[in-house]
Amino acid sequence: MMKTLLIVIHNRKDKTKFSHQYEIEEFKSILNTYGIDDITEFIVKIDEINPATYIGRGKAEEIKEIIKKKNIEMVVINKQISYTQQRNLEDIFDIPVRDKTFIILEIFRQRARTSEGKLQVELALLKYKLTRLANSSTSYDQQYGVYGTRGGSGEKKIEYERRKIKERISLITSRIEDIKKTREVQRKKKLSIPLPVISIIGYTNAGKSTLLNSLSKRNDVYADNKLFATLDPTSRRVMISEGFYAIFSDTVGFIRELPSILKLAFQATFEEIRYSDLIIHLHDITSDIEIQNESVKKILNELKIENIPILNVFNKIDLCPDIDNLKQTLAKFEPVFISAKNKIGFNELFKRISEILSIKWKPYIFKLSIDEFNFLNSLESVFITEKNFTDDGKVIVKLRSTEENYNRILKLLNNKV
């Protein structure tokens, strides 16, 4: 096991309310997920970022002594640093130095399962590498050895590396665009099905996949008690009340200061949230609720997610001995309390979901002839919740629909007549 020094940097000018201890515990969890358990933490306070080493030469020399004393084999920094800063620190420490972005990208690479997820992660890794090359040292100035060009000299190694990365980025971007078009077709098909769409969002490891497994009763969505256990969105149809179904989708887990490269790479995944009728914000009740809530809200604001109702659901109540006091403290969230693992609180969850959806998805009743019923039943845009045949040869049909879809159904029936 590689002995690792975790450097948590705190800028004194940063007025954030996040504590040093929270920073340490969260990043230790990230490192545990990456596969590192032998961790020594060290807090560095700075007034400004040093362009050469980020933390300053004096502090770097101090850390060098700790590295020697504790036989540290790798240093990880909880910020994104430039290639120059990384190289200079490695020259001082004489061991590898990695930053937060690199570690999270590697975790994502390990955990991506679908072709789209793998492409998105590779795209982020290539863009990350390209930024490193832009600041790389003159060791790349040597000729790569490609001769026969007009100038007579070969292409510099750094130019060759940049060109190859840009070509690969272009190829992957094209493939992702193709997937995006396919997703658009699938989205239109999903929207043509008269079911509300519910997105489950939340901080990483809040239990989103576990909740989706429990709701759908299929237990086929990968779930693990680790950060970023799942990266690829999954959708399942779930009955929330008698005859009334909804499409539930989980999303990639959020985290504070999620690297911008990853936000860009997973933009298509995040876009799915915009088409929701309801957002379930799943909280881990055993974690720091205020900090994680602010982080999720910040990302939602960046994604410009507006005018979609949000239901705050607090998970893992089975692990919380002081639940009664917490319920009073969290009343401002108008919360629902559940245990996704043990399926506790689902009745209240479904009740609240139905109440929120009923504002837009209203019940409608039709009395139809058999021919009209058969026609209505054949439409993909209709989901019948109940039907009863009457003595006079008619059919009483009940369904839930948006007003727009209801008016469209009326028009289709009138044209049929």
Which of 1.10.3470, 3.30.300, 3.30.70, 1.10.1760 is the CATH number of 362-416? Answer: 3.30.70
Task: Indicate if the alpha-carbon torsion angle 245, 251, 256, 259 is positive or negative.
Answer: negative
The region, left, alpha or beta by phi > 0 then psi within -120 to 50, assigned to residue 288 is beta
Burial code of 36-63, b = ≥16 C-beta within 10 A, e = fewer? beebebbebebeebbeebbbbeebbeeb
Q: How confident is the model at residue 245 (pLDDT cuts 50, 70, 90)?
A: confident
pLDDT for residue 285 is more than 80:
yes
The yes-or-no answer to whether 4-107 and 193-357 have a common fold is yes
* pLDDT of 150: 41
Q: Using CB atoms within 10 Å of the CB of residue 92, give its burial: 0 to 12 exposed, 13 to 18 middle, 19+ buried.
A: middle
Looking at per-residue pLDDT, the higher value among 145 and 21 belongs to 21
Place of tokens 């239109």: 188
Q: Give exposure, 199-226, as e/b (b: 16+ Cβ within 10 Å).
A: bbbbbbbbbbbbbbbbbbeeeebebeeb
Q: Which residues contact 231 (CB under 8 A, 6 or more apart)?
A: 108, 111, 112, 113, 117, 121, 252, 266
Mean pLDDT of the chain: 83
Q: What is the pLDDT of residues 72-127, one digit of tens each?
A: 999 999 998 998 999 999 999 999 999 988 998 888 888 777 787 788 888 889 98
Which of the listed ranges 30-39, 104-113, 124-133, 294-303 does the model predict with the highest average pLDDT? 30-39
State the pLDDT confidence band at 69, using cuts at 50, 70 and 90. very high
**Share of residues in the chain with pLDDT > 70 (%):** 85
Q: Give the burial class of 286: count Cβ atoms within 10 A of its Cβ; 0-12 exposed, 13-18 middle, 19 or more buried.
A: middle
pLDDT higher than 60, residue 176 = yes
- Can you tell me the distance from the alpha carbon of 269 to that of 200, in angstroms, rounded to the nearest whole number? 12
Query: Which ranges of 35-148 would DSSP assign to H, the alpha helix?
Result: 57-70, 83-93, 100-111, 115-134
Comparison of pLDDT for 327 and 61, the residue scoring more: 61
Confidence of residue 322 (pLDDT cuts 50, 70, 90): confident
* 361 pLDDT above the threshold of 60: yes
Amino acid at 173: T
Residue 81, both tokens: 């640093």
4-107 topology per CATH: Rossmann fold (3.40.50)
Helix residue spans in 144-265 (DSSP H)? 157-192, 208-216, 260-265
As a whole number, mean pLDDT of residues 160-177 equals 90
Res 51 pLDDT > 90:
yes
Q: What is the CATH number of domain 193-357?
A: 3.40.50.300
pLDDT at position 144 is 45
Segment 288-294 shows an average pLDDT of: 87
Could you tell me if 413 and 375 are in contact, meaning their C-beta atoms sit under 8 angstroms apart? yes
pLDDT at 297: 87
What pLDDT does 138 receive?
45
Spatial separation of the C-alpha atoms in residues 121 and 112, rounded to whole Å? 7
Q: Residue 33: what pLDDT?
A: 85
Higher per-residue pLDDT: 404 or 188: 404
Percent of the chain with pLDDT over 90: 37
Specify the pLDDT at position 380. 64
pLDDT band at 151 (very low <50, low <70, confident <90, very high): very low
Neighbours of 242 (CB within 10 A): 7
| Higher-confidence position of 366 and 114 | 366
For residues 57-68, give the mean pLDDT.
96
Q: What is the mean pLDDT of residues 240-259?
A: 81
- Which 8-state DSSP code applies to residue 155? P
- pLDDT at residue 182 tops 50: yes
Q: Which residue has the higher pLDDT, 345 or 299?
A: 345
For the chain, give every domain's residue range. 4-107, 113-178, 193-357, 362-416
Least confident window among 217-221, 252-256, 326-330, 384-388: 217-221
Band of residue 23 on the pLDDT scale cut at 50, 70, 90: confident
